[in-house]
Amino acid sequence: MKILIVDDFSTMRRIVKNLLRDLGFTNTQEADDGTTALPMLQNGDFDFLVTDWNMPGMTGLDLLKHVREDERLKTLPVLMVTAEAKRDQIVAAAQAGVNGYVVKPFTAAVLKEKIDKIFERVEG
């Protein structure tokens, strides 16, 4: 399982990376915004994308839209981990095709639950 973690704050990337490692996902890579992440996704065989929303360059929502438009990437499971907490925003992310939505600050248990749920649905 190869996972790409996208967040402009290195601390948050590290937290997510550590939590994923504790959940048994050790093959992770990092990017600091959508502009860097998109070519990585297009050129690498990632199985899962964890992205923040509010980032300079390309936002997580735009990254999600690009992923859904890309013929090869459109089925990639995407989990949004973000401080954006408005109902309109969550609805917009859902409409853009997000697979899970976690609001910051979050706990390891919540992250695990959402990831499990996404893979249950993808595999099932």
Partner 1 sequence: MVDVNLDNKDNQVGSEIRSLAENMLEQLEQGDIGKAVALVNDLNQLRDRTLYNEIGRLTRALHESIKNLNVDTVGAASDITETTDKLTYVLEMTDKSANRTMDIADAGGPLAGAMGDRAAELSARWKRFMKREMNTSEFRELSRDIDEYLSSSVKDSSEIKKQFSEIVLAQDFQDLTGQVIHKVINLIRDVEGRLVTLVSMAGQVDQITGINHEFEQSTPAPDSGPDINPEGPQTDSKADGVVSSQDDVDDLLSSLGF
> Rule CB under 8 A: which residues touch partner 1?
10-11, 14-15, 18, 53-55, 59-61, 82-92, 94-96, 101-104, 106, 110
Q: Which of residues 43 and 105 has its CB atom nearest to partner 1 in the complex? A: 105
In the complex, the smallest distance separating the C-beta of residue 43 from partner 1, rounded to whole angstroms, is: 26
Distance in Å, CB of 27 to partner 1, minimum: 18
Contact 68, 98 (CB under 8 A): no
Kind plus residue range of the DSSP H or E element containing 11: helix 10-22
Q: Which helix (H) or strand (E) holds 10?
A: helix 10-22
Shortest CB 33 distance to partner 1, Å: 12
Closest Cα to residue 101, out of 69, 62, 61, 66? 61
Among residues 44 and 57, whose Cβ is nearest to partner 1? 57
What three-state secondary structure class fits 61? helix
12 vs 40, beta carbon nearer partner 1:
12
Whole-number CA gyration radius for the chain: 13
Tell me whether residue 43 or residue 95 sits nearer to partner 1 (CB atom). Answer: 95
